């Protein structure tokens, strides 16, 4: 199962493997206080794409298209997440205030396309 959760929300047992999918560490959080199994910077959008998007919901569709194109250039960066999702619950941890228009949501949608049909039903659309 793929889930999403803001870095500022408390961790729970239901999160399964927690993977930070941001290029930058979340502001105001000490590294020792954020429970994670991995920090995969390379799955995050490039700095240029992130700055262009600037969390503007009007740019959401184009952001998703550009982000998918970046991921397609290096699909192997998603392999650790896909492998873990086939075994159990994975929570993609992100720092954006916008819970709908953020790189973790776009990444989740991209990963759904990469998961086999058998695993697509294991996607949770909203945070726990």
What mean pLDDT is predicted for residues 100-125?
79
Query: Residue 25: which domain range?
Result: 2-120
Alpha carbon distance 78, 126 (integer Å)? 20
Number of domains within the chain: 1
Assign 115 a pLDDT band (cuts: 50, 70, 90): confident
Kind of pairing, strands 17-20 and 90-94?
parallel
pLDDT of res. 119: 54
What is residue 127's predicted lDDT score, i.e. its pLDDT?
A: 44
Quick one: pLDDT at residue 126?
Answer: 45
How many angstroms separate the CA atoms of 128 and 125, rounded? Answer: 9
To the nearest whole number, what is the mean pLDDT of the chain? 92
Residue 128 has pLDDT above 50, yes or no: no
pLDDT confidence of residue 77? 97
In a domain, 72, yes or no: yes
Q: Secondary structure of the chain in the HEC alphabet?
A: CEEEEECCCCCCHHHCEEEECCCCCCCCCCHHHCCCCEECHHHCCCHHHHHHHCCCHHHHHHHHHHHHHHHHHCHHHHHHHHHHHHHCCEEEEECCCCCCCCHHHHHHHHHHHHCCHHHHCCECCCCC
Q: Is residue 127 part of a domain?
A: no
Whether residue 79 lies inside any domain: the answer is yes
pLDDT digits (tens, 9 = 90+) for 83-94: 999 999 999 999
Q: Above 90 in pLDDT, residue 122? A: no
17: which 2 tokens? Answer: 């493997």
The model carries a pTM of: 0.89
* Residue 48 within any structural domain of the chain: yes
pLDDT tens per residue across span 32-84:
999 999 999 999 999 999 999 999 999 999 999 999 999 999 999 999 999 99
Instruction: Answer whether residue 109 is part of any domain.
Output: yes
99 lies in some domain: yes
The answer to the question of residue 126 being in a domain is no
């Amino acid at each position: 199962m793929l889930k999403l959760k803001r870095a500022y929300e408390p961790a729970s047992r239901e999160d399964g493997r927690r993977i930070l999918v941001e290029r930058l560490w979340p502001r105001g959080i000490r590294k020792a206080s954020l429970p994670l199994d991995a920090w995969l910077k390379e799955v995050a959008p490039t700095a240029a794409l992130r700055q262009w998007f600037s969390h503007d919901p009007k740019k959401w569709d184009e952001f998703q298209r550009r982000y998918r194109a970046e991921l397609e250039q290096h699909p192997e960066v998603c392999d650790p997440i896909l492998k873990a999702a086939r075994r159990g619950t994975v929570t993609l941890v992100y720092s954006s205030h916008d819970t709908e228009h953020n790189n973790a949501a776009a990444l989740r949608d991209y990963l759904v396309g990469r998961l086999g049909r058998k695993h697509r039903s294991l996607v949770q659309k909203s945070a726990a």
